[in-house]
Every structure is written in C-alpha cells, then in structure tokens.
Amino acid sequence: MTPPAAVLFDCDGVIVDSEAPTFRLLIADLAGHGFPLTVHDLETDYIGGTVEDVGNRVRARGGVLPETWAADFYRKMYAMLAEGVPLMPGVLEVFDRLDAAGIPYAVGSNGTDEKMQITLGARGLLPRFRAVLSGHAMGRPKPAPDLYLAAARACGAEPARCMVIEDSPSGALAALAAGIPCWGFAPHGPEAAPARGLAALGVPLFHDMAELPGLLGL
C-alpha cells in the first residue's frame, strides 16, 4: 500500500499502557461510592470517553457521586500515573520507522493536557509529535471528528490521506466521521469488548505494534 501522509495516534492503550491501571483505580473509586463496575463493564460502556463522561453515565444509571467527583478522580489518576506507566511494546519502533520515512505523526486523545504531560512528557516523547491534542481541552472529545481533523491539519495532511490508530469504538467513530481511514489496535485479542466494537464498525484490527509498519506500507 501507499504510505499515509500522516499517522494520528490515540494515546491511552495505543502509545502508553495506561488503561489497565486507570481501570483498576476507577473501579476501586466507584465501588467506594457504592457503584460497582467490572473491567468488562468499562470496556463495553465507558472506554474512549472522558472522566466527566464516566461520571455522567454513572449518575444516569442511578449512581450518586459528589459534584467534585471528576476533579477528585483526576487528582488521584495523575498521582498514580506520575509513579510511572509503561509504553505499549513496539510503539517506539513504529515512531522510528515513521521518522525514517519522513512521515509526520500526532496524538489525538480525549485525555487532558496534564495527563499527556505526565504519560508522554515524562518519557521525553512530546517533541516527536507534530501536535499533542486533547479533546477535553478542545471541548469536542471523540466521537466528534474535530480532534482528528485538527491533528491532520497540524501535520499538513489531507484527512483522507492520513491513518488513525485507535483502540476504542468512540475513537474509531471520530476518525470515520472525519473521513480518515482507521486501523484498530486490539492487543488483547479479537474477542475483547473494544475489539468487537471496532470490528462492528468495519475497522480492520491488528494485535501487535510490530505489525503496524507493514500495514502502513513502510
């Protein structure tokens, strides 16, 4: 295949392996507020949104959370992530291949700027990206297309000539709404809830970052 003009990455679960510890923290926090959830619940109904989205969905389902819940949870999450979070295996090699090919790349995440300063900044990765954009800061989180359209502009590329790498259905919906092709990253296999959601949207899946350079035509 012809390599894309730019590659646009989600952050959590694609670049940094932050979803599992964040899920554990969220499950413990919500259980403390009398609203028990499982990892399967989070992967099926809550993945790919913002912390505020989670709080709104919990309240809509009868959960009782304090008005300050989102801000309180952000503080806990930032402290947890500051202790260190690993990168997804193989992602640095993907960046190296893109650099060698002269293909720009950017990050489009629903996470906050502060969160990405912690997870990406601590690794010294921020200078590698043409842009690191937050749907939370923009006020237009995924599945709205704005985030990936802005990322494509930052790379100086037409959306249709870019490629998005996502691990959640809401992120894939944002890419598709922006007119950008999408590969779905499913490191936990095709039967995991996010992978099934991606496949239902017609998004092709891959399961190991080592596969990605070949899929991009590098």
pLDDT band (50, 70, 90) for residue 49:
confident
Same domain, 132 and 178: yes
pLDDT value, residue 198: 95
In a domain, 27, yes or no: yes
pLDDT band (50, 70, 90) for residue 200:
very high
Same domain, 165 and 59: no
pLDDT value, residue 23: 86
At 39, the amino acid letter reads V
> Could you give the CA distance from residue 165 to residue 6 in angstroms, rounded to a whole number?
11
Q: Give me the chain's average pLDDT, please.
A: 93
Same domain, 77 and 93: no
Q: How many domains does the chain have?
A: 2
**Among candidate residues 82, 108, 133, the one where a domain is terminated:** 82
Same domain, 33 and 48: yes
The stretch 39-63 carries a mean pLDDT of: 84
In a domain, 128, yes or no: yes
The residue with greater pLDDT, 182 or 21, is 182
Same domain, 200 and 124: yes
Same domain, 93 and 191: yes
Same domain, 63 and 95: no
**Of all residues in the chain, what percent carry a pLDDT higher than 90?**
78
Same domain, 28 and 119: no
> Could you give the CA distance from residue 132 to residue 200 in angstroms, rounded to a whole number?
28
Same domain, 63 and 109: no
In a domain, 183, yes or no: yes
Same domain, 160 and 182: yes
* Phi and psi based region of residue 7 (left: phi greater than 0; alpha: psi -120 to 50; beta: remaining): beta
In a domain, 211, yes or no: yes
Same domain, 56 and 159: no
Task: Report the predicted TM-score, pTM, of the whole model to 2 decimal places.
Answer: 0.89
pLDDT tens, residue by residue, 82-113: 998 899 999 999 999 999 999 999 999 998 99
In a domain, 1, yes or no: no
pLDDT value, residue 6: 98
pLDDT value, residue 53: 86
The residue with greater pLDDT, 47 or 210, is 210
pLDDT tens, residue by residue, 114-170: 999 999 998 899 999 999 999 989 989 999 999 999 999 999 999 999 999 999 999
Residue-range definition of the domain harbouring residue 143: 6-17+86-215
Residue recorded with tokens 């939370």: 136
Same domain, 112 and 203: yes
**Is 205 in contact with 195 (CB distance < 8 Å)?**
yes
